[in-house]
Chains A and B, each alone.
Chain A
């Protein structure tokens, strides 16, 4: 017995791996070509896979009602969203700061991983289930307070960075940026958690399928169902981009 996603997933993974195996073969062939006086002028054979189509026949072996688990969703999204949200916070607090260049230079000189520290602080605060549950119930006050405190502590941990971010007691710039950052984080998380919980409720049936030749042998042809999937294969190329803190990061961009 199999689940739809594990069955199709395994087939799609095999297809992706087939492409890798093919590239490794092309590399080996290329090395042989380059050493041959005649073949070195020939193009190296390479499989270019753009699309794959899969067709699976099945019969439903069992159906179970699956209960969604909002707490699990919150914890997973808290981790998943921490890094992209940390970048947004970095943009709000550092990139929009009038002394942005000075701040970036300082962070780089002192080798402070500020986006990383903010991401860890976010992941920790957003995993506080009580706070997020309250925000989902339209009361984000406690989560907002915890976020602003935690972010302030993280961003001003280094004394020199703190002097630039909060030059005087009366300077409200950081407080304003953190208020905006907290709003962005809460809106993002709450919307995503709600969307996922709604999605989970829509697919609250867990299906087990009979798919093997032996399993289907005892199923009458008239009750066999079918699923077909057309998948697109994507290739990536390495590219170097500059991060908000000035560091260079390698990324894979689609061909």
Chain B
């Protein structure tokens, strides 16, 4: 199990997995995801004080670009986080608004 992970990869994995939910459940033709909000807790295993960032985006590309610019190595799994003092815990909140055009225009019958 990875201890330190890239915060950008961690958050992107959640975003992509959430976006993939409709396809995975085979309901993407009738249920289109319009907005995803995530608020993740992460930890720092050194003296660096983690942030409390909040960001909003209109596309996954913009979110990825911002995440890449603000990337850092963090702790994410609950066992590592549980052992950290409060000042080593950070929170990143992201809201991603998507066009409803993620659904198909027609289904063949």
Contacts and interface: CB of A to CB of B under 8 A. Distances in A.
Given A202-B64, A232-B34, A238-B109, A12 B77 contact: no
A111 interface: no
B38 A202 contact: no
A203 B1 contact: no
A158 B33 CA distance: 46
B47 interface: no
Contacts of B33: 229-232
Nearest to B17: A4
Interface in A26-70: 51-52, 59-65
B12 A254 contact: no
B13 A250 contact: no
A61 B106 CA distance: 39
B14 A227 contact: yes
Contacts of A3: 17
A86 B68 CA distance: 39
B40 to A, nearest CB: 4
B53 to A, nearest CB: 14
A206 interface: yes
A192 B11 CA distance: 24
A163 B71 CA distance: 63
Interface size class of B (residues with CB under 8 A): 35 or more
B39 A226 contact: yes
A10 interface: yes
Interface in B74-88: 76-78, 81-82, 86
A247 interface: no
Given A63-B76, A223-B41, A16 B17 contact: no
Given A234-B103, A253-B106, A229 B21 contact: yes
B52 interface: no
Contact of A205 (B10, B38, B39): B10
Contacts of A223: 41, 43, 78, 81-82, 89
A246 interface: no
A6 to B, nearest CB: 6
Contact of A231 (B17, B31, B37): B31
A231 B14 contact: no
Interface string B1-35: 11001000110111011101111111101111111
Contacts of B64: 202
A205 B2 CA distance: 10
A168 interface: no
Interface string A118-143: 00000000000000000000000000
A219 B81 CA distance: 10
